[in-house]
């Protein structure tokens, strides 16, 4: 896949874009709830701050992470997994605010996935230069539920590949409030984020926050 979906539209983006069977971009979908979402984000990160986790191979991730919900995603020398407790704070992850749960549910429904009930929200903080290598979300027990990914802050280039790592990914420019949903035949497609470029967002400054909702267990 070689298509650059943003450039091909000349900047004139439709409300929705199809990335393939089971995958859509919902442009600006989260903007109507911006104040409530940012308030919830502040409360969650005050209780369980962002931190740079270590991969099983001993590398420090450039993206800082935290979670909310019944399960949080963690990585360390012992592997990738979901855990019921924040290993830094030594207590359960903050509860998922209803505004976030409802945002994820309505986005999933708009993309054709009814009755999505996330039990985990992984939050990633990107600063200029931070990136996410191509990977599959496959630590969840049930692949029948979609992934719902909300972009906040600085724009980023999302990489959306195929079901094999060797498949060349499409580049999708995401802006504040955009939501990507993928599931069904797209559920295990490789995806990532190119290094974040410097900039300043009026609400979040020099960073991008990504909220990724999953049905972990």
State how far the alpha carbon of 206 is from the alpha carbons of 32, 45, 129, 134, 209, in Å: 22, 17, 11, 23, 10
C-alpha 12/C-alpha 6 separation (Å) is 8
Question: Does residue 37 lie in a domain region?
Answer: yes
| Count of structural domains within the chain | 1
54 in Cβ contact with 60 (< 8 Å): yes
Question: Does residue 19 lie in a domain region?
Answer: yes
Token pair in block for residue 140: 């969840």
pLDDT number for residue 12: 43
Q: Please, what are the averages of pLDDT over each run of 10 residues along the chain (217 residues)?
A: 35 75 98 97 98 95 98 96 97 98 98 97 98 97 96 98 96 98 98 98 98 97
Question: Does residue 2 lie in a domain region?
Answer: no
Question: Does residue 193 lie in a domain region?
Answer: yes
C-alpha 61/C-alpha 53 separation (Å) is 6
pLDDT number for residue 110: 97
CATH number for 39 = 2.60.120.590
Question: Does residue 1 lie in a domain region?
Answer: no
pLDDT number for residue 142: 87
pLDDT number for residue 23: 98
Beta carbons within 8 Å of 7's beta carbon, 6+ residues apart? 171
Which residue segment(s) compose the domain that 121 sits in? 7-214
Question: Does residue 167 lie in a domain region?
Answer: yes
pLDDT number for residue 178: 98
Beta carbons within 8 Å of 212's beta carbon, 6+ residues apart? 121, 122, 123, 124, 137, 147, 148, 149, 150
pLDDT number for residue 126: 98
* Claim: this prediction has a pTM higher than 0.75: yes
pLDDT number for residue 69: 98
């Amino acid at each position: 896949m070689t298509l650059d979906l943003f450039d091909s539209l000349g900047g004139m983006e439709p409300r929705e874009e199809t990335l393939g069977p089971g995958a859509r971009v919902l442009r600006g979908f989260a903007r109507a709830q911006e104040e409530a979402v940012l308030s919830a984000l502040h409360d969650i990160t005050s209780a369980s701050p962002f931190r740079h986790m270590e991969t099983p191979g001993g590398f420090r991730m450039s993206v800082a992470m935290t979670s909310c919900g019944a399960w949080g995603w963690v990585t360390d020398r012992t592997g990738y997994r979901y855990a019921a407790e924040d290993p830094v704070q030594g207590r359960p992850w903050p509860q998922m605010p209803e505004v976030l749960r409802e945002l994820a549910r309505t986005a999933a429904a708009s993309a054709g996935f009814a009755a999505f009930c996330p039990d985990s929200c992984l939050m990633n903080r990107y600063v200029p230069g931070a990136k996410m290598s191509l990977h599959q979300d496959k630590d969840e027990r049930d692949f029948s539920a979609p992934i719902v990914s909300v972009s906040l802050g600085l724009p980023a280039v999302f990489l959306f590949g195929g079901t094999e790592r060797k498949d060349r990914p499409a580049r999708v420019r995401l802006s504040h409030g955009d939501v990507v949903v993928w599931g069904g035949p797209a559920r295990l497609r490789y995806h990532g984020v190119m290094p974040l470029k410097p900039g300043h967002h009026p609400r979040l400054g020099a960073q991008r926050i990504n909220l990724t909702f999953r049905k972990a267990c």
